[in-house]
Structures are given as structure tokens and as C-alpha cells.
Amino acid sequence: MLEQVQWGDILLSGRYQPRDPAGARQWFAIAAGAGYAPAHNMLGRCHHFGWGCPKDLAQAAVSYETAASLGDLWGCYNLGILAMRGLGIPRDLPRAFALFRSSAERGHAKSMNLVGRFTEEGWCTARDPAAALSWYRCSAEGGDYRGQHNYATALLAAGAHEEALDWWSRAVEDATSDVLLAMDRVLHTLDGEQARHILVRVRARLASMGITNPDQPAVTDRACA
């Protein structure tokens, strides 16, 4: 079953041979039919994004829920995203927080970042900046670029300038455009060679995405999901 999902990933990404989303979905469905939790998650992603099938958020939620019920951390996280945003299922922040908390406590870095955000803002839980910082740190150490950005932002606010820059430097290579824009908004206000060097890297990545005017304000300085 693992090999079936791995082969589906290859077909989905187009590594080694032409991309074949429909073929990928078929392999995920075969492995899911055998009860393999990660395959249910990948089948959910196919429905979520329309990979090899029509986009169907309600069906994505069904697949994610099955994956989560079988213990898959990504399925738990992805179902939480749908619940948080009201995609395919009714918006339900308490349920989203419970899902993120469940996967975060089992080591899922992206879920740790979102537990940090909920805790920082006091969404569905008591507001606790110290606990939020701890969750952001765990997410950052787990390799999540959003967690790294949020941890860096919190560190800068606490006066830990050099440590914040170190975490922003780590986040640059994997960050998506929304996080890069949020980083740009902060970095261009900072002095020092290290901040300027990171800013150059951030703008090079934005340029590679076709974003050549990053001076526009980012939507938020906190990265959510």
C-alpha cells in the first residue's frame, strides 16, 4: 500500500515521467480501498484540488475524515483546514482547533503552528502568549516555514533580533508567496547586513513567482495555514 501511494505521488508530481493526475488518483483509491490511511488523505487532496477528478470539497472532507479516523496526521490537519475555513463542511472553529491539537500533540509541525495561532489569538481556548510561543518554536523546529515565520515574528517582538533573523533565513526556501510577502514587510524595516541579505533572498524568490512589487503591504504579519 505504501508503494501504491508512492507511485501515485510520482504520477502526481511528474517526476521521472509525464504527470498523470488521473492515474495518481486511481492508485490512491486502490490503496484507500485497502484501508491505508495516508491514501485516504491523498484521495482527499485529489478531490480538494481537482487532481484527476472534478473538484469536490464535500468529498474531500469525507476522505480526510476517514484518514483522520485511521490516525493519519495529515488527514487530521487537512480536515481541520476545511473546518476552519468552512470548505465542504460547515465552519466550525472548535472542531478545527481540536483536530489541530490532536495532530500537533502527535508531532505534526503544521498543526503545531495553528495551535500556536489559536492560542495566541484566544480562539476556542484561553489566550496564552507564552504557550503560543512554545507551539511556534516546536513548529519551527519541526521544519514548518509558517511556524518559522511566526516564531521569528514573536522573537523580534521580544527583542531577540539575531535569533529571529536566523529563523527567517531558514524559512525563505520553502515559504509560499503570502509568507514571503509578510517577511518582506518586516525585513525591509530592519537594519543590518544579515537582514538585508535575507531580504534579497526573499525578493529573489518572489521574483521567481512573478511578484516584482513586494512593497505592497502583506495581508498579515502572522502566517496562519
pLDDT digits (tens, 9 = 90+) for 23-56: 999 999 999 999 999 999 999 999 999 999 999 9
Domain residue limits, the chain: 1-99
The phi-psi region of residue 191 (left if phi > 0; otherwise alpha if psi is between -120 and 50; otherwise beta) is beta
Residue 222 has pLDDT above 80, yes or no: no
Give the span between the Cα atoms of 220 and 178, in whole angstroms.
Answer: 9
Q: How far is CA 219 from CA 142, 147, 200, in A?
A: 25, 17, 21
pLDDT above 90: residue 225:
no
For the chain, what is the mean pLDDT?
95
pLDDT at 223 over 80: no
pLDDT for residue 216 is more than 70: no
- Distance (Å, rounded) from C-alpha 208 to C-alpha 32? 37
Arithmetic mean of pLDDT, 92-104? 98
Residue 211 burial (C-beta neighbours within 10 Å; 0-12, 13-18, 19+): middle
Check residues 106 and 15 and name the one with the higher pLDDT: 106
Specify the CATH architecture of the domain 1-99: Alpha Horseshoe (1.25)
Beta strands per DSSP E along 56-166: none
- For the chain, how far is it from start to end, CA to CA, in angstroms? 29
pLDDT of 212: 84
Distance CA 166, CA 180 (A): 15
